[in-house]
Structure 1
Amino acid sequence: MQDDGGDGRNRGRDETAEERADRRWGDLLQELRVAQTGVQILFGFLLTVVFQPRFADLSQTNQDIYTCTVLLGAATTGALIGPVSFHRLVTGQRLKPQTVVWASRLTVLGLILLLCTMASSLLLILRVVVDDTAAAWLVAGMVLWFILCWYVMPAWARAVHSAESDEPSTPSP
């Protein structure tokens, strides 16, 4: 069975819906391993900050940013580990294609939360190192960089690929 992705176009793979779901699940797990490792390290460091002697010297604003950052880190961890729990709880129910869709959505949500966690972490750190205005501009620049790398470039690649695959193929001489 040719995989047409539901739109009638040949995607170049000869696999059943179940085989496609298995392949996509394996791909998603590899992506999650990378993201989860980074999030767990970041979250672990965040959890230790409050126990440092200098934490009490932070302004109330910085302590509020820290609290927000920890909550964002926890939410990110939950979203990126969510696909594993989802898969475990529906295993054997013949829901693999649907599980892949939901797990993918949780992963995208986790990446958005990771972007927020990174921005909040950077804001906290940079407010300690440079003045508040410079910190805000530096964080804004980094957020734009993450958005470019994580969302704009993949969206651009999809658009280019989609435009190329929509063009009628001409026989080569």
Structure 2
Amino acid sequence: MSTETEKQRWQRNFADLLQELRVAQTGVQILFAFLLTLPFSAGWDGTTAFQRDVYIVALLAAAAATAMIISPVAFHRALFRQGRKPELVRFAHRMASGGLFFMLIAMVSGVMLVTDFVLPWWVALVLSGLTGVWFLTFWVALPFSRRNWGEVDLEDDDDTPNP
């Protein structure tokens, strides 16, 4: 039996979300920085119209992911000391989920861009598809399948509300 108050639970949920966002933020910022430098690299002139289109998708998805993953910080600043932690946690949860979606798009597009540049188109398409499946397996299928495994562990309960 937990003696955690509802306020403490919301605070813990927010702290947990921030930890998760720190990990995602680093990855998406590195990808975004890489994408920002590509058009200035040697060899960019050799890209096809398709590769430039994929690049734009990857760049915009990385920008969207960055904005969504960092947005809980701005939201927290706006609501600081207003006693609205439940609202903040719900918002941060939605932004983290949306940010991961855009990160997936950016990652798969980035793989498509690079593999299409160095390999035949059909191989790039297969590898990009497999990359998408790989990410979806670890980011969606396995976590959601875990919800139905065995007994609920109350000590490691994630009380983050569903959107």
TM-score by length of 1: 0.84
Provide the residue aligned with 2:132 in structure 1: 143
Provide the residue aligned with 1:71 in structure 2: 60
How do 1:8-157 residues align onto structure 2 when only pairs under 5 Å count?
12-157=1-146
Q: Secondary structure at the match of 2:68?
A: helix
Deviation, structure 1 residue 30: 0.8
Matched, 1:160 2:149: yes
CA distance in 2, matches of 1:143, 1:65: 15
CA deviations on 1:31-82 (whole Å, 9 max, x unpaired) are 1111101111111011000111311211111111111111111001001001
CA deviations on 1:90-139 (whole Å, 9 max, x unpaired) are 11221101100110110011011111100100000010111111111111
TM-score by length of 2: 0.89
Question: Unpaired runs of 5+ in structure 2?
Answer: 153-163
The Cα RMSD (Å) is 1.1
Deviation, structure 1 residue 17: 1.4
Q: Secondary structure at the match of 1:159?
A: coil
Count of residue pairs brought into register by the alignment: 152
Taking every aligned residue pair, what percent have the same amino acid on both sides?
39
Q: Is the 8 A contact 1:28 1:104 kept in 2?
A: yes
CA distance in 2, matches of 1:133, 1:98: 46
Q: Secondary structure at the match of 1:72?
A: helix
Question: Unpaired runs of 5+ in structure 1?
Answer: 1-11, 166-173
CA distance in 2, matches of 1:30, 1:105: 15
Deviation, structure 1 residue 14: 2.1
CA distance in 2, matches of 1:73, 1:118: 8
